[in-house]
Amino acid sequence: MTMLLKLLLGFLCGVAALASDDSDAAQQGPLPLLLVSFDGFRADYLRRFPMPNLKLLYSQGVLVEQLTNVFITKTFPNHYTLVTGLYAESHGIVASNMYDPVSGKHFQVGRDKDPMWWNKARPLWVTALDSGYKTAAMMWPGSDVVIGNRTATHFLAYDASVTFKQRLGNITNWMLGNGKEQGVKFAALYWEEPDRTGHLFGPENTTAMRKALKEVDDDIGLLMSELKRTGLWGRVNVLVTSDHGMAQCSTERLIRLEDCLHPNNYTLVDLSAVTALIPRKDPEAVFALLKKCHAHMTAYLKKAIPDRLHYQNNERIQPIILIADEGWTIVQHGNKLPRLGDHGYDNSLPSMHPFMAAVGPSFRQGYRISDLNSVDIYPLMCHLLSVPPQPNNGSLTQARCLLEAESFGDAPLFVSLVAGIFLVLATVVFLFRGLRKCRPLRSRRFRRLPIDDDDGEEEPLYE
C-alpha cells in the first residue's frame, strides 16, 4: 500500500511537470497557423475518390467528415464565415451578387473592392494584427479589400493564372520571415479546384472529378513536402477545408421564371440555385405567383425565411428569395443550362457539405468526428492563436475535442482528479491501519525491531 502511494505521488509530480512544460510553451507564444481552402470540395469526395496524400495528412491529425456550412452555400459567404465565425446575415456577404438598399450600390463577385460590403465583420487576418501578429492572405475572398482601414500584412489579389505551387511558395516565405521581418502567425491560402471542374462537368462525372481530385491531392502532397523542406512541418498547425459541396444539374431540371411571371414585375438581383429579386409592383401579388410557380422551387418572403437558415436579418437580403430543390436550376427563360454542377442550395443537404482536416502539434493524431459547424472553425483558430475572438456565432465546445491538450481534459482538472484519488487511497490506508490497531492483541515477548543499515539516501521518485 505504501508503494502504491509513492507511485501515485510520483505520477502527480510528473503531471505537474508536464503542466509546467505546457506553461513554458505558452509563454513562447502560439504556433503559426495555416488555413487552406480547396473550393467546392464536397465531403463525400473523400470516400468516392482515392486521396492518398490527404489521407496521410489527416491520419497524422484529425478529420471532420463533414462540415455544416452556412446558407447560402456559395463561395464568398462561406469563405467569409470561415474567417469571422458569423452567419451570412451577420457578416453581410449574403450572396455572389448583392444589392444594398441603404447605399443603392450593387455588388458582383470579383468586381467590387468597396470596403462597405465587408466592414460589418473583421476577418481573422485583421483581428490577429491587434495581438501583435503579422498575417497573410493568398487570394482569399475579401483579403485584397481594406477592412476596418487595414489589410493583412501580406496579401495578393485573386489571379487565376498563379499556380498553386506559386501561391504556396509565397505563403511559406511569409511564414518563415527573414532577418528583417518576423514570420506571420496566421496565413490563409485559397485554391479554386475542384469547384471549377465541378461546375463544368458536375460531381457525378467520375472521369473529370477523378482527374481534378488527383491534382488537388497532388497539391496537398506538395503542401506537406514544402512544409517539410522549409522546416515548418511540425512547427505549425495546418487546417485544410472547403466552403461548400456541389450538386449535379441537368437540362431536365430547369425552372423558368418566365413561365410564372413577366420580367417587368421584378428586378433580378441574383440568379442561381437561390434567386433574389425585388418586386416592382404589388409584392404580395408577385409572391403569390412565385409561390405556386414550380413544385421544385420554394418562394419565401424575407420575413418568413426559416430561422434555421439564419438568413433574415440583413438589409441586403431581398424581399423575395427563391430556393430550388437539390439539382434544380432557376433561369429566367429558355432551355440553356448555365452549369452542369452547382451549389447554393439548402445547407442541410449532404451534397452541400465540405470537410475539414487538420494536423500539427496542437491536434490529436488519428482522430475523427462525424460533423462540425463551419462557424466553429473561427473560435477554434482564435484559440490556437491565443487571439481574443470578435463576436461570432460559433462555439469551441465541440471543436475542443480535436485538440491534443484537450484529449484528457484540462490539466488542472486532471491533476484535481488524480489528487482526489490520492486522498481517497490515503483515507483507506488510514482506516485500514486504524482497524488493525483495534484488533485484540495476543501477548508476545518483547523483541528488538530490525533496522535497515543503509547510507541514508532516498531514491528519487522520478528523474
- As a whole number of angstroms, the distance between CA 68 and CA 398 comes to 13
pLDDT single digits (tens) 361-390 = 999 999 999 999 999 999 999 999 999 999
Instruction: Give the H/E segment covering residue 136.
Output: strand 135-138
Listed residue (284, 285, 286) closest to 275, CA to CA: 286
Please report, for the chain, the start and end positions of each structural domain, with discontinuous segments joined by +: 31-86+121-245+347-406, 254-342
> Which cell numbers hold the place of 456?
541514508
Measuring CA to CA, which residue among 401, 364, 394 is closest to residue 377?
Answer: 394
3-state secondary structure 48-65: HCCCHHHHHHHHCCEEEE
Which regions in the chain score pLDDT beneath 50? Answer: 2-27, 408-415, 417-418, 428-429, 432, 434-463
Residues 6 or more apart in contact with residue 128 via CB below 8 angstroms: 135, 185, 186, 385, 387
Q: Which three cell numbers stand for residue 332?
A: 429566367
| CATH architecture of the region 31-86+121-245+347-406 | 3-Layer(aba) Sandwich (3.40)
Instruction: Retrieve residue 428's grid coordinates.
Output: 483507506
- Residue 29's pLDDT is what? 84
Residues in the chain: 463
- Match domain 254-342 to its CATH number in 2.60.40.290, 2.40.110.10, 3.30.1360.180, 3.90.79.10: 3.30.1360.180
3-class DSSP state of 196: helix
Burial of 73 (0-12, 13-18, 19+ CB in 10 A): buried
Q: Which of 234, 226, 252, 249 is nearest to 345 (CA)?
A: 249
Cell of 267: 428586378
What pLDDT score does 422 carry?
A: 54
**Catalytic residue numbers, as ranges:** 75
pLDDT score recorded for residue 405: 86
Per-residue model confidence (pLDDT) at position 181:
86
Angle at which helices 206-229 and 164-176 cross, to 10° = 30
**Cell numbers placing 453:** 543499515
C-alpha cell recorded at residue 114: 468597396
3-state secondary structure of 10: helix
36: CB partners within 8 A, 6+ apart: 188, 189, 191, 223, 238, 239, 240, 241
Rounded to whole angstroms, the Cα distance separating 343 from 70 reads: 12
C-beta separation of 273 from 328 below 8 A = yes
